[in-house]
Chain A
Amino acid sequence: MATSQTTPKIIIRGLHKAFGSKVVLDGVDLDIGKAESVVILGGSGSGKSVLLKCVLGIVKPDSGSIKVDGVETVGMKGKERDELLRKFGMLFQGAALFDSLKVWQNVAFGLIQGRGMARAEAKAVALKKLGQVGLGADVAELSPAELSGGMQKRVALARAIAADPEIIFFDEPTTGLDPIMADVINDLIIASVRTLGASALSITHDIASARKIADRVAMLFNGKIHWQGPVAELDRSGNAHVDQFIHGRAEGPIRMQVLRP
C-alpha cells in the first residue's frame, strides 16, 4: 500500500507518560502516514494501550507532542477535542460494546449521539456497516451479551467504522479469538481500512495478524520504539528485540518479570 510522501497523518514526538514511579512511555517517536497501516508490536504491559489512549486524549501525557494533520493535540479540550475525536474510530480489546443497547444502537451510537443524525437514517447506516462485517439484520436486534466473542469483535469493528473515520485504532483486535476467526477479523480490518482510505494504528502481540494487516511495524519495549520498518523487513530487522518477539523466545534482551524457582 502507499506510504505517502506528504505530511504524515499523525506525528508523535518525545512522548512520555509515567504512572507514579512506573515509567510507561519513555520518549516515543512515531509517524503514521495517510492511508498507512502501522502495527505496534509489544509484550504485555509495554505501554501499547497507553500510547493509543494518549493520542485519543483519554490519558494525558506528561510531555511530548502529538500532531494530527499538523495540529498539536496535547492539551486540547472541550469542543476542539470533540472535533478532533470525530476523525477517529477505535476497536477496543474487549469490544467495549454498550450492554444496555441493542447491536444496531451500538453501531449507530456515534452517528446519533456524536453527530445528531436521525435515528432511522443512522439505523440504515448501521445495518449497512454490519453487512460489511458479515452480520445480518437479524443480529442487529440482539443485545451484545447474546453474541459470541468473534461476533462482538465484528460489531465493535462496525461501530469503529460507522462514522467513516479518517484514522482507526485497533487495540489487540485478534486477542482471545480462535485462529480462523482471527483471520476473518484481519481480512475485515484490511477491507474496511482500504474502503475508507483511512490511516490505521494497531497494537498487537499476534505476529500473524501483524504480518497480515501492517504496512509498517514498530517494536515497542520499555516505553521506547526499538525498531521500525516495512513489514517485509520484519524477518531481517537485525534487531534482537524484534527477533526474540517474532520467534516467541523466553531468552533474549526482553526479560519478562517471572519468578523462577
Chain B
Amino acid sequence: MKNYSFTIDLTIDKNRLQPLFSLLKSRIEIILVIFLSIVSVVCFVIFYQNGLGLAYNDARSHLDIGRRVVEGLKPGLAQIGSVWLPLPHLLMIPTIWNDFMWHSGLSGALQSMISYVLIGYFIFLTLKEMQVGLLGRIFAVLVFALNVNILYMQSIAMTELLLLCTILLTSYEFMLWNKNEKILHLIKTAFWVMLATLIRYEGWFLLGSVTLLILVRMWKKKGYRVTEGVIILFLTLAAWGIFLWFSWNQLIFKDALYFMFGPFSAHSQQQQLQEAGVLVTKNNFLLSLKIYFYALIFNSTFYIFLLSGLGYLWIWIDKKLNFWTKLSTLNLLSPLIFNVLALFLGFSVLFIQGISGNTWFNVRYGLMMLPSFAIFTGFLLDRLVKFRPLIIGLTIFVYFFIFTNLDAVTIDDARVGSSQKNVFEVSGYLKNNAGDKKGFILISAASHDAIIFSSGLPMKRFIHEGTGGYWESAITSPDRWARWIVMRTYDNNDLTFKAVNQVPRFFTMYNLVAKYPFADVYELKEEFRKNLITEPVLSNKNKQ
C-alpha cells in the first residue's frame, strides 16, 4: 500500500518564540508565585462558598482564640491561653477584629494561604539546590500544589500549612548552610526553627533533629570547640521560642509546664482517650508506623507515596549530591519520625477508618510529609530521564481521579470524621433565641468553642473560663450573670456543669430549653431575672 504522508504544518518564527521562552525561563519563579496565589485564592473561595471552610472543629476554636485577644469581656494577650502554641493566633490579631475575617475564617486561612505559596516556591528552590532541572522542579511544585488535601487545608484556619512552611524553610536554609557554611544561613535556620517551635510541637522535634545534624557535621569537620560555639549560637535563637513559651506559662498560669500537664493539655486529653481504650497506638510501634503510613498514603495517594520512597532512596545513591547535602535532607523526614514516635508514646492520636476504629480522626497529620514527598518525586523525575513521560502521565492520571472523585481524606475527617463537630443545632438555637435579647451566655470555651463561633454572636456576649471575674462570679451566682447556660448536663468534664452543679437550687432557677447531642441550653426563669446583670460592668477595672 502506498504510504501517503499528508501533514498539517504549523510554522512558527523562532524569533517570536525566543522572547517568550526567555521570559518564561527568567521569570519562572514569579510566574509560579502568581499561579500559586491564584490557585490559593480560588480554592479559598470554593471552600468558603460550599461551607467546608469552617468544618473543622479546631478551625473554629483557633479563630475564637484569636478573636478573644481583641474582643470579648476580657480581651488581651492572656487569651492566647495554653492549649495551642501561640504563633498562629498571634498572626491572626491584625485581621481578626473584623467580623468577616473572623466568621469567614479568612483571618486564619490567610496565613495558610501565604504558607501554601511559600512552600511551593521553596520546593522549587530546594530542588534547584539539589541540581534538579526545571521540569523536575515544576513537577514537584505541582505534585504538592495540586494535592486536594493541601488545597483544602490551605483554605482553612488550621495550623498545618504554616508549620509545613517553617519546616521547609528550615530545611532549605540548613541545606544552604551545609553547602557553604555561611553563618547567615545558620541564623536563618535558627529563625525558622524558632517559629516552628511556636506553631506545633513537631517544631520542637525539628529543633532537636537540626541541632543533632549540626552537631554531627561540626564535630566531624571542626572538632569540639567550634561545635560548642556553633551550637550555642544556633540554640540562642532557635530555642528562644520554647523559652518564651515556658515563661508565658509561668507568668500567666503560674506553672511553666502548664501547657504540658494542665487540664486542657494534649496529655490530659490523651489520658481520657486511654481510659476510654482508644489510644491503641501507645506502646505499639508497628501499629504506630502502620497508622501513620496509612495517613501518609491517604493524604498523598499510594502512587506518590511509592514514587517519593524511590526518590528518597535515589537521593542517597545519587552521585551529583555531596554527602552533607544528602545528610541535610534528613530534616525532611523529621515529621515522619516525630509523628510515629508521638503515636507510639501516646502523645498523639490518629484514627484511620477501618484500622483503628470506624471513623477518621486527625488524619491530616499525614500532610506533614507532603512537601518532602514533592521534593523526592521531583528529584526522581529529574534523575529518571527515560521514565519522565511515564511518571508525568501516570501522575496526571491519578490526579485526574482524585479531582473527579474529590478524594480528600481531610475533608472527610472534617465533615463526617471525629474532627468535625456539628453544633449547628445548639448554635442556631442561641442565634435565634439569644441574638436579639439582652443577657450573657455562660459556657465553657474549652468544651464548646465551636458553639461560640457558630452562633455568630459577639464574643462579649459569652462568659467563659478566660473572662476572669465574670467567670468566677457567674459560676457561683449564675442567676446574677447568666441568662443562658450552655453545658453538657451531668458531664464533669464540662467546667460549667461541674461548677453550677454545686450551686444550690440551680435547677429550680433555670429551665432546660433545648437539648442537643453536644450540649443542652438552660435559660433563667422569668421570676429570677430582676437582678440579672446584662452589661459588662467589670470590664474596665479587670482589663489587662
Q: Do A and B come from one complex?
A: no
Binding site for B on A (CB under 8 A): none
